[in-house]
């Protein structure tokens, strides 16, 4: 019984996980200090801001995280899973224009951010998939409208045929 319940819970968790697109953006960077030396095996403080409109636009979301660089100076984080400073990541209306990611990094692991950069977000696979789904939904709506129109025409034809039959029957009665 417990084994079956465990399997059921695992299936439900898996179904939930696969039924939604993730509300996170993977982010990687190689950190170097001001002299270009790789910042290796070091805890870093990171502030991420999502800017709207331009590289100097207003922040619609900001968060902070800490991450440890590897031997090559690489950090890997998920934007949307840090400590929220402002905004709501899942509430961002991604269809409302251009967005940029601003990163600010403290190589010492705190909040004294001395390394900064901004880059524009590009289209990702989920967006392209959504556009395909929108086309399918639009096509389905057109088919539904055409089917409804066809059904209306068939109803009108049946009504006209009934009127014609009634007229012919009345005419036959009149002629007799």
pLDDT digits (tens, 9 = 90+) for 8-41: 444 444 444 444 556 888 888 888 877 888 889 9
Sign of CA dihedral 54, 56, 61, 64: positive
The reported pLDDT for the residue numbered 8 is: 41
d(CA 80, CA 75): 15
Instruction: Say whether both 158 and 78 belong to one domain.
Output: no
Domain boundary residue, one of 122, 144, 166:
122
Query: Domain range holding 112?
Result: 2-122
* Per-residue tokens: 97: 């224009």
pLDDT digits (tens, 9 = 90+) for 106-119: 988 999 988 888 98
The reported pLDDT for the residue numbered 22 is: 64
Instruction: Say whether both 105 and 141 belong to one domain.
Output: no
Q: What is the CA radius of gyration of the chain?
A: 30
pLDDT surpassing 50 at residue 75 = yes
Sign of CA dihedral 109, 110, 114, 115: positive
Instruction: Say whether both 148 and 107 belong to one domain.
Output: no
Instruction: Say whether both 30 and 113 belong to one domain.
Output: yes
Share of the chain above pLDDT 90, in %: 31
pLDDT digits (tens, 9 = 90+) for 46-56: 999 999 999 99
Which of residues 10 and 103 earns the better pLDDT score? 103
CATH at 28: 2.60.40
Instruction: Say whether both 116 and 149 belong to one domain.
Output: no
Instruction: Say whether both 63 and 12 belong to one domain.
Output: yes
pLDDT surpassing 90 at residue 83 = yes
How would residue 64 be classed by pLDDT, with cut points 50, 70 and 90? Answer: very high
Instruction: Say whether both 53 and 114 belong to one domain.
Output: yes
CB 45 within 8 A of CB 106: yes
d(CA 105, CA 4): 47
Domain boundary residue, one of 122, 141, 156:
122
- Enclosing H/E stretch for 65: strand 58-68
Instruction: Say whether both 51 and 13 belong to one domain.
Output: yes
Instruction: Say whether both 96 and 165 belong to one domain.
Output: no
Domain count, the chain: 2
Domain boundary residue, one of 80, 104, 122:
122
Instruction: Say whether both 112 and 60 belong to one domain.
Output: yes
pTM for this entry:
0.61
How would residue 163 be classed by pLDDT, with cut points 50, 70 and 90? Answer: confident
Mean of the per-residue pLDDT values for the chain?
77
* Location of structure tokens 């269809």: 95
pLDDT digits (tens, 9 = 90+) for 84-94: 999 999 888 88
Instruction: Say whether both 172 and 102 belong to one domain.
Output: no
Which of residues 118 and 126 earns the better pLDDT score? 118
The reported pLDDT for the residue numbered 30 is: 87
pLDDT surpassing 80 at residue 126 = no
Instruction: Say whether both 39 and 25 belong to one domain.
Output: yes
d(CA 24, CA 89): 8
């Amino acid at each position: 019984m417990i084994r079956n319940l465990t399997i059921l819970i695992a299936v439900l968790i898996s179904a939930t996980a696969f039924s939604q697109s993730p509300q996170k953006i993977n982010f990687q960077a190689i950190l170097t200090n001001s002299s270009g030396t790789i910042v290796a095996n070091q805890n870093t403080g990171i502030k991420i801001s999502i800017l709207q409109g331009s590289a100097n636009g207003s922040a619609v979301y900001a968060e902070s995280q800490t991450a440890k660089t590897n031997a090559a100076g690489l950090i890997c984080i998920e934007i949307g899973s840090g400590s929220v400073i402002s905004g709501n990541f899942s509430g961002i209306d991604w269809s409302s224009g251009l967005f940029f990611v601003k990163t600010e990094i403290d190589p010492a692991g705190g909040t004294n951010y001395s390394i900064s950069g901004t880059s524009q977000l590009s289209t990702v696979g989920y967006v392209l998939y959504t556009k395909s789904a929108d086309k399918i939904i639009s096509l389905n709506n057109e088919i539904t409208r055409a089917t409804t129109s066809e059904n209306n025409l068939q109803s009108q034809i049946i009504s006209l045929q009934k009127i014609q039959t009634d007229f012919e029957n009345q005419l036959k009665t009149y002629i007799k």
